[in-house]
Amino acid sequence: MSKSKTCCNFTHPDHSSEFSRLNRMSGQIDGIKKMIEDKRYCVEILTQLKAVQSAARAVEGNILKRHIEACVKDAFVGKNASDRDEKINELLKLFKKS
């Protein structure tokens, strides 16, 4: 797993591998806009929206996995309890938004 910039005491993982999926999602969204302009059938539009949502969940899952494997793991390996508490609170806050 390649790493990028550092912040606090953690080195953050590189998420650039998600660009291809994000670019595909962007194209799908453009396609959905065109479908709406062309007054396509509702179910066809909804099907494309579900595809974008699925792709977004996949990106989210990949980034969350890297976050846990890198940032969260680093906080628990370190000796600083406040770093661990911060990571736990970040995750709790994130999941409460779901």
**Each residue's pLDDT tens digit, 2-35:** 444 444 555 689 999 999 999 999 999 999 999 9
Q: Domain limits at 90?
A: 16-96
At residue 75, the pLDDT reads 85
Give domain status of residue 68, yes or no. Answer: yes
- Number of folded domains that form the chain: 1
CATH at 35: 1.20.58.1000
Give domain status of residue 8, yes or no. Answer: no
Burial environment of residue 51 by CB neighbours within 10 A (0 to 12, 13 to 18, 19 or more): middle
Q: Above 60 in pLDDT, residue 49?
A: yes
Give domain status of residue 5, yes or no. Answer: no
- Model pTM score: 0.79
Give domain status of residue 4, yes or no. Answer: no
Q: What digits encode the pLDDT tens for the residues 63-91?
A: 999 999 998 888 888 778 888 899 999 99
